[in-house]
Structure 1
Amino acid sequence: MILNPKFPLYLPGVKNGSNDNVSIIGANLREDITTLGYFVSSNGGLEIKIQNNYPTKDYTSFTEILKKFVQDNQLENTKRLGIAVPGPVLDGKSSPARLGWNLDIEELKKDFDFERIDMLNDQEASAYGMALLEDSDLDPIYTSGHLEKGNVAILAPGNGLGEAGYFFDGKYLRPFATEGGHSEFSPRTNVEVEFYQFLNNLYGIVSWENVLSKGGLFNIYRFLRDVKRHPEPEWLSDRLANGNFAEELYKAAVEEDVLICKIALDTFLEFLAREANNLALKLKATGGLLISGDIPQAIREYINKDKFYEKYKISDKMEEMLKSIPIYLIKQNYTALNGAALYSAYIQE
């Protein structure tokens, strides 16, 4: 994997020859699956040698998974470790709510013989990993043909709602994390006010993550079913309860033409367009808007790009700026894993 010139990342260590041929373990910690990879740095990029998935809930700690990965693959003298976590990282520590683990770089250094350990928010890691994407991994929703110069926004609905960005310093893109997914959701129409009240009874404070995530898609669906009384076929109830909710909902909408599922997806995409608008404005993302995450990738074929763009560009005074921002859907699913390893390989000189 080599760096894509569309993403001119600030990676000062690329120019340092001592960062070539360095062995690195990258890790992406998620609520359902934790993925680890063994990488070797070369020529300013990365070569992945091994990649394994582990059911997160089967393990009591990340240390347990890491030991198993090292033992299973007989890895010795690995130099660096890069970890992507679904939450904020403060002073080398993180306690992601969805994992129930306490992570501490200093504790990991005691247990493992790495020369260097880095830990960063998963969306910041994903921003680094996007620099390794090929052009074929970028599915344009709206574009003038290329990414313009300027800040870039990243919106990623999955188990939670990831939001991050790149600051453009005039020459390089510098990734940064946010916790914008936890900002408060606001309704616009009368039906959305009903939806807000429904969520307010469940959560108290209603965040965008309660709307744009796997749980958020379920919230939209059950609001349509339980409050708006859209009929749910009996066979669908069993499939949704026993399978992957987002995948089953998508199949029912596309293959079975089930109305409640189509409305749920349409509603989700309208909210996605609106939060894309919010994030692009807050970051002044004239360099582009990148949409990633499990759900957009899973329902990519359902997305009406023209309709999404029309919903996205609605604004009181900023429509002209929004219309100038290219929008891409990311098709690749391992940007956080790759980004954590890339960070460890080249961020320091």
Structure 2
Amino acid sequence: MLLAGDIGGTKLRFGLFTRQRGPRRPLAEAVYPSAEHGSLESAVRCFLVGTGRRPTQAVLAVAGPVLVGTARITNLPWVIGESRLRRAFKLRSATLINDVEAIAASLPLLRRADLVCLREGMPVRRGNRAVIAPGTGLGEAFLCRDGRRYRAFASEGGHADFAPGTPIEDGLLAFLRARHGHVSYERVCSGIGIANLYRFLREQDPGQEPPRLAEALARVDDPVPLIVEKALDPENPCDICVRALDLFASILGAEAGNLALKILATGGVYLGGGIPPRVLPFLRKGTFAEAFLRKGRMRDLVARIPVHVIMNPKAALIGAAALGLGVESRTRSRSSR
């Protein structure tokens, strides 16, 4: 029996899987807020006690780089080791992988209902596929064929230097560089990033922030849900919140196009993570597509590349389970048909 997990900065998702049931039908599953547990071992123990079952192996997808069997969670104060997990839960094997690598591994197993298409494009059969996943932070990964099957690869591209593409983004870079020194794409294209975009726009014109919104933001630890809620208000959308999400969509489009060029993602670009499904109306506006296509001489190339939003919040769990079970879809993902 396999324990699979998606270990994020905000949520922890666990499932128990068998080869007979496959990676989409767990025997048991649970989700916990990351802040409720002081360590991964505590969260795993809570889950297993609740199921009354004992796995023999584990594959856990973690939000951060995995080096020599050890991971330091990017937005949590946790250090996780494979050997420590094996000893703690008497497992035959324990494997840590990057969480966006796990999302990439899930792509051949996703169904039409798991995806929303932003750009149809002209996908190349068996072409490379890219995943860019803004959540608490920003993750990137990709999927390439080795001649027989797809293999997922992790990256830490979200921490590469942010490159402004417009005058307002020039000002954003200066604003953040004065505060942080190095400005990565994660600083501007994630949950952390949305908060930074809002602060930048507010500083440009303090009078544009409604007093009630200022009061509400002062009462919460995480401003992003409120910013998104006010931007999507169908009757009275807040202008500064709308502008923040328009800027987010433009930056995400630009970096999605960058990633598509870097790995030649002729099979498609997939937007994962928790934020894209929540801000779908903004991704469907012209700002995302305009920035995605703004690639100079390579515009015609990226215009052929499909873009999908992954709507299934279990994609990383499915990918981790598929890798642990040795399962691979024998057919192309439905999104490429």
| TM-score in terms of structure 2 length | 0.90
Identical aligned residues as a percent: 32
Partner of 1:223: 200
CA distance in 2, matches of 1:109, 1:328: 37
Distance 1:288 1:170, change over 3 A: farther
In 1, Cα distance between equivalents of 2:187 and 2:32? 26
Contact 2:250–2:290 (CA under 8 A) maintained in structure 1: no
Give distance in 1, aligned partners of 2:36 and 2:117. Answer: 38
Q: Does 1:143 align with 2:120?
A: yes
Can you list the C-alpha shifts for 1:246-280, whole angstroms capped at 9, x where unaligned?
Answer: 33222212212211111111111000110011100
Name the structure 1 match of 2:282. 302
- Does the residue aligned with 2:208 lie in a helix, a strand or coil? coil
| Shift, 1:133, TM fit | 1.7
Q: Which residue of 1 aligns with 2:321?
A: 341
Quick one: which of 122, 129, 133 aligns to 2:106?
129
In 2, the alpha carbon distance for the partners of 1:323 and 1:292 equals 20
**Is residue 153–residue 285 contact of structure 1 (8 Å, CA) maintained in 2?**
yes
Call closer, same or farther: CA 1:46–1:267 in 2, change over 3 Å: closer
Verify the 8 A CA contact 1:81 1:117 in the aligned structure 2.
yes
Alpha-carbon distance between aligned partners in 1 of 2:125 and 2:308, rounded to the nearest angstrom? 13
Instruction: Please give the alpha-carbon distance, in whole angstroms, between the structure 1 residues aligned to 2:276 and 2:296.
Output: 27
The letter of the residue matching 1:226 is E
Partners of 1:147 and 1:332 in 2: CA distance: 24
Unpaired runs of 5+ in structure 1?
Answer: 1-22
AA of the residue aligned to 1:84:
A
Quote the offset at 1:190 in angstroms: 2.9
Aligned to 2:32: 54
What amino acid does structure 2 have at the position aligned with 1:70?
L
Structure 1 position 130, deviation (Å): 3.0
Give the RMSD, CA atoms, in angstroms. Answer: 2.0
The answer to whether the 8 Å contact 1:230/1:260 transfers is no
2:2 and 2:321 in contact (8 A); partners too:
yes
Q: 1:192 aligns with which of 149, 166, 169?
A: 169
- Alpha-carbon distance between aligned partners in 2 of 1:39 and 1:147, rounded to the nearest angstrom: 32
Q: Which residue of 1 aligns with 2:256?
A: 276
The amino acid of 2:248's aligned partner reads: F
Q: How far is 1:170 from its partner?
A: 4.1
Deviation at 1:38, TM superposition (A): 1.6
Structure 2 vs 1, CA of residues 230 and 217 (structure 1 numbering), >3 Å: closer, same or farther? farther
Corresponding residue for 1:252? 230
Cα separation, 1, equivalents of 2:94 and 2:79: 16
Match of 1:3 in 2: none
Q: CA deviation at 1:347?
A: 6.6
Counterpart-to-counterpart distance in 1, 2:107 and 2:216? 34
Q: Could you tell me which of 93, 97, 117 is aligned with 1:116?
A: 93
Partner Cα separation in structure 2 for residue 230 and residue 155 of structure 1: 34
Question: Aligned partners of 2:43 and 2:327: how far apart in 1?
Answer: 25
**How far has the Cα of 1:337 moved from its partner?**
1.7
* Whole-angstrom CA distance in 2 between matches of 1:90 and 1:75: 30
Deviation at 1:287, TM superposition (A): 1.0
Amino acid at match of 2:68: D
Establish whether residue 160 from structure 1 lines up as the match of residue 140 from structure 2: no
Conserved in 2, the CA contact under 8 Å of 1:291 and 1:327? yes
Shift of the 337–241 alpha-carbon distance from structure 1 to 2, 3 Å rule, reads: farther
Select between 236-245 and 49-58 the one with higher mean Cα deviation: 236-245
Equivalent position of 1:311 in the other structure? 291
Residue 2 of structure 2 corresponds to which residue in structure 1? 24
Give per-residue Cα distances to partners, 1:215-258, cap 9 Å, x unaligned.
10011111101124451111212333445533322221221221
Matches within 5 A, 1:169-248: 169-229=146-206, 231-242=208-219, 245-248=223-226
Is 1:100 equivalent to 2:80 in the alignment? no
Query: How far is 1:144 from its partner?
Result: 4.1
The C-alpha deviation readout for 1:9-28, integer Å capped at 9, x for no partner, is: xxxxxxxxxxxxxx211111
Matched to 1:58, the amino acid is E
User: Do 1:156 and 1:291's aligned partners in 2 also have CA atoms closer than 8 Å?
Assistant: yes
- The amino acid that maps onto 2:291 is K
> Equivalents in 2 of 1:40, 1:291: separation in Å?
28
| Distance across 1 between alignment mates of 2:310 and 2:226 | 22
The 8 Å contact of residues 220 and 264 in structure 1, kept in 2 or not, is answered as yes
Q: Distance in 2 between matches of 1:230 and 1:283?
A: 43
Equivalence for 2:331:
none
1:346 maps to amino acid: G
Q: Distance in 2 between matches of 1:68 and 1:252?
A: 36
> Corresponding residue for 1:65?
43
